[in-house]
């Protein structure tokens, strides 16, 4: 799988990789464009582009608000696809789509995969689709060579982790704690034990997200995960200080 190979090649050169996340259309696609540029210029290795949805059940209040505002401004899935095509053509890092299954279903699942492949998207993160209910999705992921990223959680048993890893490609997204995105994560003994179980369950690169917001957080993950995921922190930064603050923040994470 292209995504796995790209991440492993990058990981061989760095102590830890960085994946960032932004909600398309929030506060605007023009701001998104500048934020992506700053992220890439300052060493981000992979970016999740979230297609807004009205009920983003895995997301905390900051990202929920961003989804709702992007939708209220009239953002269309077509515009998200066009923007993603521009980003993938401009910046030579992997781009993923993160969204909810209703977006794919309404658009047409195979039509969505075909379009994503055409524009250079390398993976999908769909938090509300259990693999047992995603036979069509998984078959199309294989057909089009797009990585279906699976999600581990602190509540996942070792058996469940191995099952999920068997369905997935590209990377595994390890949710750092119970709950939704945005809140602070506590890096205690239970967290480190959880990551050890994640590592034992798969050979795919491990990306850890939910509450990763500082250089200190990223340092904790070195040697235990392959990639730190920064989401809510950059959205708050853009809201408070503007897109020009993103570059220095990313540069200071490792």
Q: Supply the residues annotated as catalytic.
A: 48, 59
- Which residues, 6+ apart, have CB-to-CB distance to 209 below 8 Å? 19, 21, 173, 174, 175, 176, 181, 228, 229, 230, 231
Q: What phi and psi values does residue 62 have, to the nearest 5 degrees?
A: -65, -50
**Is 179 strand, coil or helix?**
coil
Query: Which of 74, 72, 116 minimizes the C-alpha distance to 98?
Result: 116
57 strand-pairing partners: none
CB 36 within 8 Å of CB 91: yes
Chain mean position to CA 124: 8
**Crossing angle of helices 135-144 and 109-119, rounded to 10°:** 30
3-class secondary structure, 97: strand
């Amino acid at each position: 799988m292209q995504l796995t190979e790209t991440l492993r090649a990058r990981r061989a050169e760095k102590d830890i990789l960085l994946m960032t996340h932004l909600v398309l259309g929030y506060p605007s696609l023009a701001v998104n464009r500048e934020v992506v540029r700053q992220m890439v210029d300052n060493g981000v290795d992979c970016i999740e582009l979230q297609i807004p949805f009205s009920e983003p059940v895995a997301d905390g209040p900051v990202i929920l608000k961003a989804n709702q505002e992007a939708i209220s401004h009239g953002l269309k899935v077509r515009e998200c696809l066009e923007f993603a095509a521009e980003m993938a053509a401009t910046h030579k890092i992997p781009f993923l789509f993160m969204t909810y299954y209703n977006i794919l279903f309404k658009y047409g699942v195979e039509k969505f995969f075909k379009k994503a492949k055409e524009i250079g998207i390398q993976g999908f993160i769909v938090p509300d689709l259990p693999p047992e209910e995603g036979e069509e999705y998984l078959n199309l992921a294989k057909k089009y060579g797009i990585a279906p990223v699976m999600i581990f959680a602190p509540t996942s048993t070792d058996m469940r982790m191995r099952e999920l890893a068997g369905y997935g490609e590209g990377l595994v997204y390890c949710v750092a704690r119970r709950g939704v995105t945005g809140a602070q994560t506590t890096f205690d003994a239970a967290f480190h034990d959880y990551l050890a179980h994640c590592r034992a369950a798969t050979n795919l690169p491990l990306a850890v997200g939910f509450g990763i917001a500082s250089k200190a957080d990223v340092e904790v993950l070195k040697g235990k995960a392959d990639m730190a995921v920064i989401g809510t922190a950059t959205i708050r930064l853009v809201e408070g200080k503007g897109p020009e603050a993103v570059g220095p923040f990313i540069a200071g994470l490792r």
